[in-house]
Amino acid sequence: MVLDRMLGWAALGLILALACSGAIRQLYTNNETTVVVPVSQRASSINEECVAAAALARVLPTTLSNEATAFLAARADAPRSPPISALPQAEGAAFTRGILAAFCGPSAERHREALVASDSETTIAGVPVVRSTPKLGVALDGTPSAAGPTAMDETAVILYIHGGAYIAGSALGMAHTYAPLSAATGIKVVSVEYRLAPEHPFPAGLDDVTAVYRALLESHAPSRIAVAGDSAGGGLAAALLLRAASDGLPQPGAAVLVSPWTVLNSSRADTHATLKCVDPLISVDTLTTAGKWYASGSDLGVDDPLVSPAFGDFSAASAAASEAGRKPPAVLILVGTRELLLSDSAILARQMRRGGLEVELSVYDGMWHVWATGAQGTLGLPEAVEGVQEAAAFILKHLGPPPS
C-alpha cells in the first residue's frame, strides 16, 4: 500500500512537471480534466499570500530574450505543486523525484545527443559516477562551429555535482547541467551520483563527493581540477572546499557555482522571504522540508557550516593553498534576480572573500533558479548560453592551458 502511494505521488509529479513545462498543458486549460485544481484556483489554492504578487511577477524586463519572456509568462499561469511538507516523508521524496525527473529528463537526453560524444556509468572510490566526454567543434546548440574547442584537454577534469534539493536528481538524468560546460571547455566531466536524503542525510552526500575528489587527486594535479555544481550541488561544491581544507586535501584550481543553495535556514536569508512569490521554480516549503531532511544527520542541523556553507570559514582553504605555493581557488557564482536563493549567493560570496578566496559574483537580471542549467538549457535559452560561456571562460582562465 505504501509503495503504491509512493508510486502514485511520483506519477503525479511527472504529470505536474510536464504540465509546468508545457508538454501536457491542456490538462490545466480544461476544467473537466484538471489534474490538481481548476484554472481559477491555481494560485490561491496553494499559496494565497502570493496571489497579490502575481501581477508584479508578470512585469518582465524588456532586456530578456523572447525565449526567457515566454518561459516566465507560461510559468506565471502554471499550477504550483502541493507542498511536500503536507506529505509523509517517503511520499514527499518520491513526489519531488518524479517532478524533477519529468522536468529535466527530456532536456538531459537532448543535451546528451547534441553535446556528448560518449558517457558511461561507473564507480570511483566506490561511489557511482558518470564519466562524460564532450563533442568537439560544436556550438552549445550542438551544431558544428569553429568557435568550439577542437582538442580535448586530457590533463583536466570537471567534477560536477547535480542539484535536486539534496533529495532528488541523478547524474545521468541531469546531463543538461554538465554537458554544455564540458562541450564549451573541451574538458571531460565526472558527475557524482551522491546519496540522497531523506534515506541518506548529511554527511552522506558530502562524503561521496569528497571521496571522488580525493580519488581524482591521484590522477590529476589539483590545479587541473574544476569543481562545479548547481543548486544543492552548488552548495555541496562550496562545502567540498571547506571539507578539503579540514581533511588536508589540496584545493581545486577553480569552482563554478550556479544558483547555489548555501543557506538551509530560511530565516537567515532575506530573499527566501522577499522573492518567494517571484521565483517560478522553487518554494520555501520545499527548501524548508528538504533542508530538514538533509540536515537531520548533523548535530547542528541546518546551521552546520558544512550544511549551510554560506556561513563557513574559508580562511583554511585559502591558507592551505598559500602554504602549498598556489593561489587560493577562484570561485564564480552565477545567480539570477528572480530566484529565491539570491541571498545564498550574496552571503556566500562575502564569506568567501572574507576567507581570502577570489570570488566573482555574476548576477543575471530577470533570471530564475538554475536558468543556465535548467530544462531549457543551451538548446532553448540565449541567457543559458551566455551563462555557460561565462563559466567555461572562467574555468579555462583559471586552469590555464595544458602543461607542455
pLDDT at position 321:
79
d(CA 73, CA 206): 37
pLDDT at position 54:
64
Question: What is the residue-averaged pLDDT of the chain?
Answer: 87
**Spatial contact of 232 and 331, defined as CB atoms under 8 Å apart:** no
203 prior amide bond cis, ω within 30: yes
Element (H, E) at 124: strand 116-124
Which tens digits make up the pLDDT trace of 272-320?
999 988 888 898 999 999 999 999 999 999 999 999 999 999 999 988 8
Average confidence (pLDDT) over 87-107: 93
pLDDT at position 83:
86
* 353 φ, ψ (degrees, to nearest 5): -65, -40
Among the listed residues 81, 132, 170, 231, the single catalytic one is 231
Average confidence (pLDDT) over 50-77: 82
Place of cell 548547481: 230
Residue 357 has pLDDT above 80, yes or no: yes
Which tens digits make up the pLDDT trace of 143-156?
999 988 999 999 99
**Spatial contact of 20 and 14, defined as CB atoms under 8 Å apart:** no
pLDDT band per the 50, 70, 90 thresholds, residue 52: low
pLDDT at position 245:
95
Residue 124 has pLDDT above 70, yes or no: yes
Is 132 an annotated catalytic residue?
no
Average confidence (pLDDT) over 332-350: 97
d(CA 176, CA 379): 9
d(CA 118, CA 386): 25
Domains defined for the chain, CATH in brackets: 2-98 (no CATH), 106-399 (3.40.50.1820)
Lowest mean pLDDT among 99-103, 161-165, 175-179, 396-400: 99-103
Is the pTM higher than 0.75? The answer reads yes
pLDDT at position 340:
95
Q: Closest Cα partner for 203 from 158, 231, 239, 229?
A: 239
One-letter amino acid at 303 equals D
- 325 vs 345, residue with greater confidence: 345
Phi-psi label, residue 380: left if phi above 0, alpha if psi -120 to 50, beta otherwise = alpha
Residue 29 has pLDDT above 60, yes or no: no
Lowest mean pLDDT among 12-26, 31-45, 184-198, 270-284: 31-45
Lowest mean pLDDT among 17-21, 92-96, 148-152, 206-210: 17-21
- 3-state class (DSSP) for residue 350: helix
